[in-house]
Amino acid sequence: MGDGNAIIKMDLGKFSKPATVLIQKVAGAIGLLYEPTHLRRKARAQADVNKIKAIAKLELGELEQRALQRLVSQEVRKQENIESIVSEAIEFLPENAQVEELNEDWVAYMFKQCDTVSDTQMRSLWAKILAAESTSPGKFSKRTLNFLSGLSQSEAELFTALGAYVWQREDSPLAVVRRLNETTSLKDVINGSSILQLQSLGLITYQHDLGFSLLEVSGPQKFYYFDREIVIDLSDASGSELDVGEVALTTLGAELWEICGAQPNYSHYYMAVVEWRKRGYIVSEQ
């Protein structure tokens, strides 16, 4: 795409290689380039708006003028949202991101789902999606993008709260949630009601009576809770099943957990360790 056709331009020299490639990918997908400064960008956009308004007054009737002004306002808002998402995604990009393999059709599809999102937290979520997909192309499906486009801020916050219960084993996230009816209070965000809501969204599966277990576990197993590491050994326990509670992340939930921005709650960590020890597991904190 030549500079004359660019919607917005930017000096790419100040960016890392992954960031530069990402900007070029976005440009190829939706015709978006950047300008050196935000002020120049805003000034040019405003000049274009004023030009359109002037033409409209000369050539269009009152109804057409209002329709055109509405269209311009909508497109300016979309443009600002897109640029905010790209700018924030650049901040999340690691140096080893495989941006060259990022599919431009995927990029175009993503921005169709999020170009009207102006809430700061939700835009940040989309920026993390773009950065994660740029780092490992193929990580997020179009189905996931469709789901996110309909996710409300309150639903996103609820899932982020659940993230405080999530551990990792061999890069697989595990939601360790037990006995909700016994251990939660009215002030807890994660309770029976919110768990059912997350299940209805398709982010988790909830089995109050049966629960979930890792099968055929043998030998010491490493588990991680944010910056904490433990080793669980079932040698002294009966059987080879490791109980992990009443909740399991779905494939969709596991995808989104990585970018939900959850923070640790170490009371959940200690409750899980105590419960595992009660079941006869040997738990060693590293």
pLDDT given at position 65 = 74
Does 271 share its domain with 231? Answer: yes
Confirm if 114 and 150 have CB atoms less than 8 A apart.
Answer: no
Q: Indicate the pLDDT class of residue 197, thresholds 50, 70 and 90.
A: very high
What is the per-residue pLDDT for 110?
A: 95
**What does the mean pLDDT of the chain come to?**
83
Between 138 and 71, the higher pLDDT residue: 138
The phi, psi pair for 210, rounded to 5°, reads -90, -40
Please give the pLDDT value at position 254. Answer: 93
219 and 132 in a common domain:
no
Can you give the pLDDT at residue 50?
66
Number of domains in the chain: 2
SS (HEC) of 145-207: HHHHHCCCHHHHHHHHHHHHHEEEECCEEEECECCHHHHCCCCCCCCHHHHHHHHHCCCEEEC
Is the separation of the CB atoms in 43 and 13 below 8 Å? Answer: no
Does 118 lie in the same domain as 9? yes
| CA distance linking residue 72 with residue 192, whole number of Å | 46
Residue 89 and residue 58 share a domain:
yes
Task: Looking at the structure, tell me whether residues 227 and 246 fall in a common domain.
Answer: yes
63-to-39, 58, 88, 236 alpha-carbon distances in Å:
32, 13, 38, 79
Greatest extent of the chain over all pairs of C-alpha atoms, in Å: 86
What percent of the chain lies above the pLDDT cut of 70? 80
**Radius of gyration from C-alpha coordinates of the chain:** 24
Q: Do 7 and 131 reside in the same domain of the chain?
A: yes
Question: Which one has a higher pLDDT value, 65 or 165?
Answer: 165
Least confident of 2-11, 96-105, 190-199, 252-261: 2-11
pLDDT higher than 70, residue 26: yes
Least confident of 7-11, 56-60, 131-135: 7-11
Given a contact cutoff of 8 angstroms between Cβ atoms, the answer to whether 56 and 64 are in contact is: yes
**Domain co-membership, 92 together with 200:** no
Task: Report, as an integer, the average pLDDT of 46-64.
Answer: 64
28 & 145 share domain: yes
Mean pLDDT, range 160-185, rounded to an integer: 81
Domain housing 136: 3-149
Residue with tokens 């175009």: 108
Looking at the fold, whether 174 and 127 belong to one and the same domain comes out as no
- Whether 218 has a pLDDT exceeding 90, the answer reads no
Question: pTM of the prediction?
Answer: 0.78
State the pLDDT confidence band at 273, using cuts at 50, 70 and 90: very high
C-beta of residue 23 within 8 angstroms of C-beta of residue 12? yes
Distance CA 27, CA 8 (A): 9
Residue pLDDT, tens place only, 63-81:
777 777 788 888 888 888 8
The reply to whether 89 and 166 lie within a common domain is no
